[in-house]
């Protein structure tokens, strides 16, 4: 028989929402209501068995007495009760006692009711009240309250107060305040008193003298707590941290901090209580009580009694609690450095952003935790034997992608293009490149992908179009100063006859950023700006046509079912007005390249465009209930997460690639810093990072990590995406790439994979010069070999005759030649080999999907000073990456009670994976991780 929880699960909402729908509440959105009704119908759920209106003796009814049913913590306990009672066919009679006199009356009345059992939640009982209940005809179980005559399940509030206070002291706080509830609270909230006792005990144990000035009591209300906290902050020696005995009081303290101009957690740390959604929304560090579990345990005791007919003896069962560290606690300003050196774990936790359009009941949007597969259309799969990948090729491989376990595909540009920069020179933003297919084929791809649960994202190129775009062609024949030319940056040259470029800017791919045109009358003419290659003229975002064009483009593809865009090169949109010379060029790391030009990098002028796009997306979502769209910025900001945040926020891009991890060399400090700084920049603001280790511009990880200098060189040199030339050991690189992938896939947020990394493909370094197509190769006169090596068509089989299965019959050579050794890395063979990279990715993605902690839990960096290991915790899961060349043992408390969920090391056949100690990557007796290896440990 379907239960209310089944309905909630199927509809993707909470049980409360279902019950609100059943009660006809107006607070439920029509779309949600429709979903709940559909789920009830599908499951054939019958909400009430008592609706027959019979006055006969009730059968199978359990009374639940609860103060403040609407209070979120009560509600959570109720959820646990409902879940446990329903399978037994027991229905609930809810007594919501929201005033003390009503509570007292109920305690007299209820024992006379014809119930099968009673549960009382968080209501302190007088001695005679408990005694009366103990003599009633039915058994009573207490939850979070106790009485000597009755069984009870209790959350240890003293311990809660203690761990909150201890956490703050471990960060270096000494002046810690407590905000709780008055002793004579009408409901006698004993929990507040116990929490305070734990607080006091922790201080005393640490040798800190208890100072009553730091303890305040007030009603369980946000406004009251705000007042109390304001008083605390106005003291001459104000507290640097506050423990609040409840969620709403913590919110009041946060309000007070804001009013006092204090930044949280820099100036003041705040801990709340009850890890309910409200806390998660506000990024609060809280004490998590197993509220739902207490409901379940209480119910189990009761159902046990009902099944056996034996009344449980009076006893107290205590439940464990834990601290959930989010963004509101940190070391006090002065002590932070010292503490980090002490090895105090840096802790940051995820919390769900407060507002997202079209999400169900505040659940994260799909893209926040998705695994997206970046697919270079040209190189993925060729369906018609012309040697060029195409959309039909992708459609044919959807089963492979579905099996891999990805959530979405990002297609590199597949618009009509002369391919001067392989699609990043778009000639028409509203069509499909004929080599790749047509709009009909595209629609079919979106449809088929959806059918296997995969969303399609595209690539939007706003900074420039192709020199063959109709606009640019029109500009060439239009006069100086015309609106056609104004859509770009046309300027007269300097010097005699305007022979010199308008300024000294260099192009990012080499050479001048300016190209001179010939005017329609045949005379040498103006110059136009193109900061990548001359085939990619920069668009002028001050021109309304440009803004309008991209509005139309985004909507055009959203209408076709595209769920998001990766936005190309957004940091170079917006140029210093007047286009002055780049005075910094000479001091730059690579003056011959434009990448360090401050006049077109990170300019404030660009951001108006992104704010406008975000508004467009949100308006589109509002008009299309159920659609969740994402814009991810390619914003290259090496080691400047603060600048990254200027692009990724609630007003501009939903995400921006966290490139620092991809740039990092193979050493623990670099990886840890990349993760820590990104997480710290994003998560306290309610944003989850978008990680990536590979893409079509960077050298593949296997090669990067296999370089002899991998420990000092990542994917960049002096901030420019560039490769080291040290020798490569592919085996080392493969081992490390396996470990890095596992490390990355456990991180909080979204992960972007690049096609071929799941096969462990190395970079192809020895392409013949004549085969090379990347404009970087030609523009730098071959000094830079460019990016072709990561764009070689994918190997699907071990058959060289069909370019390893890339083309069906191999009639035409593929557009870049795959090397012979690729017989070693291909889908067909790897699918059969449990030790292959492909098998590792599949396993990791499957476990990630099946382990909610890996997507939803917070993030805590452990062992922050370890020279070899980078370790973090996500809920119950611990991820360990050993970046050293020797085996490392793990602290016992990380290993205890955990087993290996996934290991980057190939397990010998027949080994069982019971505990990291016996079967982890390392050989030592205690839990250990081998060299260049990573492991996910879970319960």
Binding ligand NOJ (rule: CB under 6 A), the pick from 275, 697, 757, 830 is: 697
Q: Please identify, using beta-carbon distances, which residue of 346 and 790 lies nearer to ligand NOJ.
A: 790
Give the nearest distance from C-beta 418 to Ca ion in angstroms. Answer: 17
Kindly identify the residues of this chain, within the stretch 555-574, that bind ligand NOJ according to CB under 6 A: 568-569
Nearer to ligand NOJ, 181 or 634 (CB): 634
Cα separation of 878 and 628, whole Å? 31
Torsion over CA: 475, 480, 484, 486 (sign): positive
Q: Does 784 sit near ligand NOJ (CB under 6 A)?
A: no
Half-sphere exposure of 193 (CA within 13 A, CB side): 10
Q: How far apart are CA 339 and CA 343, in angstroms?
A: 7
388 binds, among Ca ion, ligand NOJ, none (CB under 5 to 8 A by kind): Ca ion
Please report whether residue 716 would count as binding ligand NOJ according to CB under 6 A. Answer: no
Contact flag: residue 866 with ligand NOJ (CB under 6 A): no
Of 125, 388, 461, 847, the one binding ligand NOJ by CB under 6 A = 461
In the complex, least distance from residue 652 CB atom to ligand NOJ, rounded to whole angstroms: 18
Site for Ca ion in 358-387 (CB under 5 A): 382, 384, 386
Q: Is 433 in the site for Ca ion (CB under 5 A)?
A: no
Check binding of 144 to ligand NOJ (CB under 6 A).
no
| H/E element, 684 | none
Q: Does 630 bind Ca ion (CB under 5 A)?
A: no
CB atoms within 10 A of CB 541: 20
Measure the CA–CA gap between 804 and 753, rounded to whole angstroms: 21
Positions 497 through 536 that interact with ligand NOJ (CB under 6 A): 532
Contact call for residue 407 and ligand NOJ (CB under 6 A): no
Residue from 91, 181, 390, 860 that binds Ca ion (CB under 5 A)?
Answer: 390
Q: 106 vs 575, which CB is nearer to ligand NOJ?
A: 575
Picking from 152, 147, 208, the residue whose alpha carbon sits closest to that of residue 176 is 208
Shortest Å distance, C-beta 382 to Ca ion = 4
568 binds, among Ca ion, ligand NOJ, none (CB under 5 to 8 A by kind): ligand NOJ
| Residue 716 binding target from ligand NOJ, Ca ion, none, CB below 5 to 8 Å by type | none
Binding-site size for Ca ion (CB under 5 A) equals: 5
The option from Ca ion, ligand NOJ, none interacting with 187 (CB < 5 to 8 A, set by class) reads none
Of residues 563 and 568, the one with the C-beta less far from ligand NOJ: 568
Q: Compute φ and ψ for 606, nearest 5 degrees.
A: -70, -25
Least distance from ligand NOJ to the Cβ atom of residue 536, Å: 6
Q: Between 488 and 796, name the residue whose CB sits nearer to Ca ion.
A: 796
Judged by CB under 6 A, which of 144, 166, 421, 621 binds ligand NOJ?
Answer: 421
568 catalytic, yes or no?
yes
Residue 576 binding Ca ion, by CB under 5 A: no
Q: How far is the CB of 275 from ligand NOJ (least distance, A)?
A: 40
Q: Quickly count: other Cβ atoms within 10 Å of residue 306's Cβ.
A: 18
Structure tokens at 459: 């690539």
Residue 722 engages ligand NOJ in binding (rule: CB under 6 A): no
Residue 461 contacts which entry, Ca ion, ligand NOJ, none (Cβ below 5-8 A, type-dependent): ligand NOJ
Distances, alpha carbon 914 to alpha carbons 665, 772, 892, 905, 927, in Å: 33, 49, 16, 15, 11
Q: Provide, rounded to whole angstroms, the least separation between the CB of residue 921 and Ca ion.
A: 42
Please, which residue, 192 or 417, has the CB nearer to Ca ion? Answer: 417
- Per-position DSSP letters for 629-642, written without gaps between them: -EEEE----TT-HH
Q: Map 776-844 to HEC letters.
A: HHHHCCCCCCCCHHHCCCCCCCCCHHHCCCCCCCCCCCCCCCCCHHHHCCCHHHHHHCCCCHHHHHHHH
Provide, rounded to whole angstroms, the least separation between the CB of residue 388 and Ca ion. 4
Catalytic residue among 421, 459, 568, 774: 568
Shortest distance (Å) from residue 219 CB to ligand NOJ: 56
Contact by Cβ (8 Å): 736, 771: no
- Active-site option among 292, 634, 744, 788: 634
Residue listed under structure tokens 């470990």? 739
The order of strands in the sheet holding 322-324 is: 215-217, 176-180, 241-244, 269-273, 285-288, 322-324
Cβ nearer to ligand NOJ, comparing 168 with 570: 570
Residues 264-283 that bind ligand NOJ (CB under 6 A): none
| Closest among 410, 396, 406 to 453, alpha carbons compared | 406
Q: Does 420 bind ligand NOJ (CB under 6 A)?
A: no
Segment 623 to 652, residues that bind ligand NOJ, using CB under 6 A:
634
Residue 384 contacts which entry, Ca ion, ligand NOJ, none (Cβ below 5-8 A, type-dependent): Ca ion
Residue 460 vs 742, nearer CB to ligand NOJ: 460
Instruction: Report if residue 407 touches Ca ion, rule: CB under 5 A.
Output: no
Query: Rule CB under 6 A: is residue 95 a binding residue for ligand NOJ?
Result: no
In the Cβ-directed half-sphere of 553, how many Cα atoms lie within 13 Å?
A: 23
Q: How far is the CB of 376 from Ca ion (least distance, A)?
A: 13
Task: Tell me if 118 sits within 8 A of 143, measured CB to CB.
Answer: no
Cβ proximity of 716 and 661 under 8 Å: no
Query: How many residues interact with ligand NOJ (rule CB under 6 A)?
Result: 9
Quick check: 550 binds ligand NOJ (CB under 6 A)?
no
Q: Note if 634 is an active site residue.
A: yes
- Going by their DSSP bridges, the two strands 490-491 and 524-529 should be labelled as antiparallel
Cβ neighbourhood burial of 673 (10 Å; 0-12, 13-18, 19+): middle
| Minimum distance of ligand NOJ from residue 532's CB (angstroms) | 5
Contact between 388 and Ca ion (CB under 5 A)? yes
Q: What is the C-alpha to C-alpha distance for residues 314 and 823, in angstroms, rounded to an integer?
A: 70
| Closest approach of ligand NOJ to the CB of residue 610, in Å | 16
**457 phi/psi in degrees, rounded to 5:** -115, 150
Asked if 907 is part of the footprint of Ca ion (rule: CB under 5 A), the reply reads no
User: Quick one: 325 or 569, whose CB is closer to ligand NOJ?
Assistant: 569
Q: Which residues contact 714 (CB under 8 A, 6 or more apart)?
A: 662, 663, 664, 665, 666, 670, 704
d(CA 678, CA 664): 13
Q: Considering just the CA atoms, what is the radius of gyration of the chain in Å?
A: 31
Ordered DSSP codes for 162-211:
HHHHHHHHHHT--SEEEEE--TT-TT--HHHHHHHHHHHHHHHHTTPPP-
Minimum gap (Å) between residue 386 Cβ and Ca ion? 4
The partner in contact with residue 436, picked from Ca ion, ligand NOJ, none with C-beta cut-offs of 5 to 8 angstroms by kind, is none
State in angstroms the smallest separation of the CB of 696 from ligand NOJ.
Answer: 6
538 binds ligand NOJ (CB under 6 A): no
830 is in the binding site of which of ligand NOJ, Ca ion, none (Cβ under 5 to 8 A by kind)?
A: none
Q: What does the buried/exposed string (b/e) look like for 727-766 if buried means 16 or more CB atoms within 10 Å of the residue's CB?
A: ebbbebbbbbbbbbbbbbbbbbbbbbbbbbbbbbbbbbee
- Of 753, 754, 660, 667, which Cα lies nearest the Cα of 705? 667
For ligand NOJ, which is the closer residue by CB, 144 or 697? 697
Q: 110 is in the binding site of which of ligand NOJ, Ca ion, none (Cβ under 5 to 8 A by kind)?
A: none
Phi (first) and psi of residue 39, to 5 degrees: -65, -40
Q: Which of residues 422-441 bind ligand NOJ (CB under 6 A)?
A: 424
Of the pair 754, 872, the CB lying nearest ligand NOJ is at 754
Give dist(CA 880, CA 451) in Å, integer. Answer: 36
Residues that bind ligand NOJ (CB under 6 A): 421, 424, 461, 532, 568-569, 634, 696-697
Residues that bind Ca ion (CB under 5 A): 382, 384, 386, 388, 390
Q: Which residues are catalytic?
A: 568, 634
């Amino acid at each position: 028989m379907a239960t209310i929880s089944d309905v909630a699960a199927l509809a993707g909402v909470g049980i409360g929402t279902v019950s609100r729908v059943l009660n006809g509440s107006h607070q439920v959105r029509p779309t949600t209501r429709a979903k709940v009704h559909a789920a009830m119908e599908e499951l054939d759920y019958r909400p009430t068995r008592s609706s027959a209106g019979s006055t006969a003796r009730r059968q199978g009814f359990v009374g639940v007495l609860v103060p403040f049913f609407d209070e979120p913590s009560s509600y959570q306990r109720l959820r646990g009760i409902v879940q446990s009672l329903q399978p037994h066919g027991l229905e609930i009679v809810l007594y919501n006692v929201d005033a003390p006199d009503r509570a007292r009356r109920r305690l007299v009345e209820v024992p006379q009711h014809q119930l099968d059992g009673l549960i009382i939640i968080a209501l302190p009982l007088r001695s005679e009240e408990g005694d009366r209940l103990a003599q009633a005809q039915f058994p009573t179980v207490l939850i979070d309250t106790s009485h000597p005559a009755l069984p009870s399940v209790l959350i240890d509030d003293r311990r809660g107060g203690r761990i909150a206070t201890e956490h703050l002291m471990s960060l270096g706080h000494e002046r810690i305040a407590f905000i709780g509830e008055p002793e004579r609270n009408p409901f006698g909230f004993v929990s507040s008193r116990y929490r305070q006792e734990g607080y006091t005990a922790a201080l005393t144990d640490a040798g800190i003298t208890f100072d009553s000035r730091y303890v305040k009591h007030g009603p369980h209300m946000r406004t009251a707590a705000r007042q109390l906290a304001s008083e605390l902050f106005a003291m001459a020696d104000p507290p640097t941290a506050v423990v609040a005995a409840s969620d709403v009081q913590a919110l009041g303290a946060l309000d007070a901090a804001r009013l006092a101009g204090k930044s949280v957690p820099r100036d003041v740390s705040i801990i709340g209580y009850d890890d309910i959604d409200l806390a998660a929304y506000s990024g609060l560090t809280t004490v998590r009580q197993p509220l739902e579990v207490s409901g379940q345990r209480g119910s189990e005791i009761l159902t046990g009694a009902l099944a056996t007919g034996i009344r449980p003896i009076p006893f107290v069962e205590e439940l464990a609690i834990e601290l959930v560290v989010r963004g509101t606690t940190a070391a006090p300003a002065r002590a932070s450095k010292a503490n980090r050196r002490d090895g105090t774990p840096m802790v940051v936790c995820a919390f769900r952003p407060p507002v997202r359009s079209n999400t169900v009941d505040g659940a994260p949007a799909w893209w926040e935790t998705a695994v997206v597969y970046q697919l270079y259309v040209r190189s993925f799969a060729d369906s018609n034997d012309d040697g060029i990948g195409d959309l039909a090729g992708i459609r044919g491989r959807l089963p492979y992608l579905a099996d891999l376990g990805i959530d979405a595909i990002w297609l590199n540009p597949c618009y009509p293009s002369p391919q001067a920069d392989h699609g990043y020179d778009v000639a028409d933003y509203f069509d499909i490149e004929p080599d790749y297919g047509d709009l009909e084929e595209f629609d079919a791809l979106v449809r088929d992908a959806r059918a296997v649960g995969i969303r399609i994202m595209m690539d939007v190129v706003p900074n420039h179009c192709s020199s063959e775009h109709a606009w640019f062609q029109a500009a060439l024949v239009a006069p100086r100063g015309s609106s056609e030319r104004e859509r770009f940056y046309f300027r007269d040259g300097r010097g005699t006859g305007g022979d010199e470029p308008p300024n000294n800017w260099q192009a990012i791919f080499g050479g001048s950023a300016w190209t001179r045109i010939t005017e329609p009358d045949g005379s040498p003419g103006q110059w136009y700006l193109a900061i990548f290659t001359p085939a990619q003229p920069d668009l002028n975002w001050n021109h309304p046509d440009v803004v309008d064009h991209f509005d139309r483009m985004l909507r055009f593809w959203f209408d076709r079912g595209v769920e998001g865009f990766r936005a190309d090169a957004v940091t170079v949109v917006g140029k210093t007005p007047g286009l002055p010379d780049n005075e910094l060029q000479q001091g730059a790391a690579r003056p011959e390249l434009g990448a360090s030009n401050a006049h077109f990098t990170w300019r404030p002028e660009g951001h108006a465009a992104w704010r406008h796009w975000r508004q467009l997306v949100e308006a589109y979502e509002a008009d299309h209930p159920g659609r969740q769209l994402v814009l991810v910025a390619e914003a290259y900001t090496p080691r400047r997460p603060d600048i990254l945040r200027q692009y990724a926020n609630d007003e501009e891009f939903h995400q921006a690639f966290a490139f620092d991890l991809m740039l990092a060399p193979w050493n623990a400090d670099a990886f840890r810093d990349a993760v820590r700084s990104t997480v710290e920049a994003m998560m306290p603001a309610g944003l989850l990072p978008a990680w990536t280790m590979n893409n079509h511009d960077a050298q593949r990880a296997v090669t990067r990590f296999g370089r002899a200098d991998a420990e000092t060189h990542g994917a960049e040199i002096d901030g420019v995406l560039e490769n080291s030339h040290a020798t490569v050991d592919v085996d080392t690189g493969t081992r490390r790439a396996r470990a890095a992938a596992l490390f990355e896939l456990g991180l909080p947020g979204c992960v972007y994979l690049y096609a071929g990394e799941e096969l462990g493909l190395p970079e192809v370094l020895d392409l013949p010069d004549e085969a090379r197509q990347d404009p970087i190769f030609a523009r730098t006169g071959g000094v830079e070999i460019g990016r072709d090596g990561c764009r070689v068509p994918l190997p699907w089989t071990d058959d060289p005759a069909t370019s390893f299965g890339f083309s069906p019959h191999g009639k035409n050579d593929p557009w870049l030649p795959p090397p012979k050794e690729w017989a070693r890395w291909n889908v067909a063979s790897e699918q059969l080999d449990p030790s292959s990279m492909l098998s590792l990715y599949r396993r990791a993605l499957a476990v990630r999907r099946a382990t909610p902690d890996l997507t939803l839990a917070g993030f805590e960096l452990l062992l922050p000073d370890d020279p070899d290991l980078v370790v973090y915790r996500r809920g119950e899961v611990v991820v360990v990456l050993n970046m050293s060349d020797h085996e490392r043992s793990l602290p016992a408390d990380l290993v205890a009670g955990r087993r290996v969920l996934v290991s980057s090391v190939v397990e010998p056949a027949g080994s069982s994976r019971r505990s990291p100690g016996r079967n982890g990557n390392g050989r030592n007796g205690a839990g250990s991780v081998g060299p260049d290896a990573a492991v996910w440990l879970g319960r």
